[in-house]
Amino acid sequence: MDHTIIQNAKELSVRIIRQAGLIAKEKFDNFDVLRSKDNYGDVITEVDLLAEEIIVEQIRMAFPSHQIHSEEAGMIGNENDWLWLIDPLDGTNNFAIGLPVFTTSITLLYRREPVLGVIYEPLTDRLFVSVLGEGTTCNNRPVHIKSNSNLFKGNIGWIQGHKVQNDSKAVQLRQYIDVRFKRMMRLWAPTLQWCMLAKGDIDGIVLYNSEGDDLYSGILMVKEAGGIVIDFEGNPFRGMNEEPYLIACHPDHKQELLKIVREGLK
């Protein structure tokens, strides 16, 4: 693995993600909804497409041999050890209804393992950067996941895939978590929840079958901030998975949260 590539990718990503974020900030509450995206009520705005164009174009110029997968454009380029995942506007539905909860996410993977994650929240001007083996920062300051002396007085993030909808097992688990913690959060902007966990603002995440361009930057953020990411069997999560079921938290809370998830699925 060429660390020069990662460093150059980091510098590029920080620059272009701010450019994309500026578009979202300027057009917040002043945009056009272009069309419905699917049968689940998702939409695509002009911001998704404008931000994506900026990011993809500059990555292709800087790293022409790399493969890119972006939320709207799909797969670009031939299969390669290096794969970029782009979510130009994570939280589009929030953006579309005037809810200021959205980010832009860029991930670089090497042989399907994330090595760089950059997430930008434009309205608060918070830039999260994570590099494999180098930790996670928010606006250049290191952040660390926190341990809660009483987890059940804490806040747990819930993330589910669009296709999950009201799957009976998901509803059962979601309700079980909801009544056992101070708050169960559903932001519909997954990358922001991963950043909140890395930063110590929430205490855990339970993810139910939600894979996409917004996943792997967040996973790297949490791991590099000292957290763990495991599957529902308790095994460390690595690589990529089309149907992930995950728990993320401080290592101190692994058994507690795993126990809750298993109970909630009975």
Burial 95-125 (b: 16+ CB within 10 A, else e): bbeeeebbbbbbbbbbeeebbbbbbbbbeee
Largest CA distance in the chain: 51
Q: Assess contact for 102 and 117: CB atoms under 8 A.
A: no
Q: 48 — phi, psi (to 5°)?
A: -55, -45
Nearest to 195 by CA among 113, 115, 132, 130: 130
Q: Which two tokens stand for residue 66?
A: 């790399």
Beta strand extents in 161-214 (DSSP E only): 183-185, 204-208
Cα–Cα distance for residue pair 223/93, rounded to 1 Å: 28
Binding positions for Mg(2+):
71, 87, 89-90, 214
Sequence-distant (6+) residues with CB within 8 A of 74 are: none
- Give the residue ranges of the annotated binding site: 71, 87, 89-90, 214
